[in-house]
Amino acid sequence: MRLIIDTDAGIDDAQAIMMALAHPGVTVEAITCVTGNVHVDKVVPNVLTVLDVMRADVPVYRGAALPLVADWSPEVHVHGEDGLGDWKDRPPTQRHAESEHAVNALIRLANAAPGEYTLVALGPLTNIALACQLDPSFPSKIRQFVFMGGTTHAMGNTPNLTAEFNIYCDPEAAYMTLRAFPLSTMLSWETTLQHPFGWPEWNALCDTNSPAARFMKGTSGVTVDLIQSYRFNGYLLPDPLAMAVALKPDLVRASGTYYVTVELNGAYTRGQTVIDYRARSGHAPNVHVVQEVDTAGVYALYQQMLA
């Protein structure tokens, strides 16, 4: 599998990237960065640091610094000021991003190897939407597009109660992206809520004796504290679940394919993914909605990446 990852890293993004870098038979050929959890100028060094930890060499590209239309503010309460949990022992990186803009890199790579790349988006879809606008043939040259984002039953995690962060952060980009790709695979917030690691299992992973595990434990404290403050029943895995089903589609236990679009105007619902479950819209189904995942299989991917 030839993989491109678009990310707003992000603590859970970092774990998803680690999972891909450690997976046999997968080459991560580019990582494109976008503003989301934190500004893209913080996302880039976060990704470079993950490459240091995993001793991997992957070109990293800086992308969109702001959503297409929406106002933006960082999610410091979820990912810390630096986007990696403000870990005091964070090592500095000597690496640098490429000079090419992320959107140009996405288009160049797709044109250089049409039908070859799996594209996994872990943040707002700003870069992806811009690629689709700059080169309308871009979606047709991507083998599979998987994204973490959206809600399947209006249980959001943003001030708009029905909207999930990646879509809420740039609703126009999400709308344009879902319209442009003939078929996307969506890993929603509700599916995230239904598939946590239990705390004992999470702690066992963090106690793995490896630099990767020490990095993961050190950077995830902010998120763990937040999750536990909300009394969720385990460690939540939004981006890692999306990456896991891209790497191993057989981890999907239940799914459905529906027409999905994005609300752009609702006073309370802007950024909601609107799903046509009963095929009443007349639009062709465009999104493969993942509903159940083999969490034990995802856990095995974590054990692999932390070894």
**Residues interacting with Ca ion, by CB under 5 A?**
8, 10, 13, 122-123, 239
Q: Which of 10, 80, 150, 271 binds ligand RIB (CB under 6 A)?
A: 10
| Cis check: omega of the bond before 85, within 30 degrees of 0 | no
Least Å distance, CB 278 to ligand RIB, is 26
Q: Is residue 264 packed enough to be buried (19+ CB in 10 Å), middle (13-18) or exposed (0-12)?
A: middle
Q: Which does 191 bind (CB under 5 to 8 A by kind): ligand RIB, Ca ion, none?
A: none
Q: At what angle do helices 199-206 and 295-306 cross, to 10 degrees?
A: 20
**Out of Ca ion, ligand RIB, none, which partner does residue 170 contact, by CB within 5 to 8 A per kind?**
none
Three-class secondary structure of residue 100 per DSSP: coil
Residue 107 or 301: which CB sits closer to ligand RIB? 301
Residue 235 binding ligand RIB, by CB under 6 A: no
Q: Which stretch binds ligand RIB (CB under 6 A): 59-67, 89-97, 164-172, 260-268?
A: 164-172
Strands (E), the chain: 2-7, 27-33, 60-62, 117-121, 142-148, 184-187, 252-262, 273-276, 287-293
Residue number of the CB closest to ligand RIB reads 165
The angle at the Cα of 144, spanning 117 to 185, to the nearest 5 degrees, equals 145
Query: In 34-72, at which residue ranges do the beta strands (DSSP E only) sit?
Result: 60-62
Q: Is 157 in the site for ligand RIB (CB under 6 A)?
A: yes
Our CB check for Ca ion shows the closer of 8 and 164 to be 8
Nearer to Ca ion (CB atom), residue 85 or residue 123:
123
The CB-of-276 to ligand RIB minimum distance in angstroms stands at 22
Is residue 171 part of the contact set for ligand RIB (CB under 6 A)? no
Asked if 37 interacts with ligand RIB (CB under 6 A), we say yes
Residues 6+ apart with CB under 8 A from 16: 5, 7, 120, 122, 148, 239, 240, 242, 243
What gap in Å lies between CA 163 and CA 265, rounded to an integer? Answer: 12
Write down the least CB distance from residue 149 to ligand RIB, Å: 7
Instruction: Give backbone dihedrals phi and psi of 156, rounded to 5 degrees, phi first.
Output: -85, 180
Q: The tokens of 268 are what?
A: 């309370």
- Using CB under 6 A as the binding rule, the residues of this chain from 184 to 213 that contact ligand RIB are 189
Binding site for ligand RIB (CB under 6 A): 8, 10, 12-13, 36-37, 122-123, 148, 157, 164-166, 189, 238-239
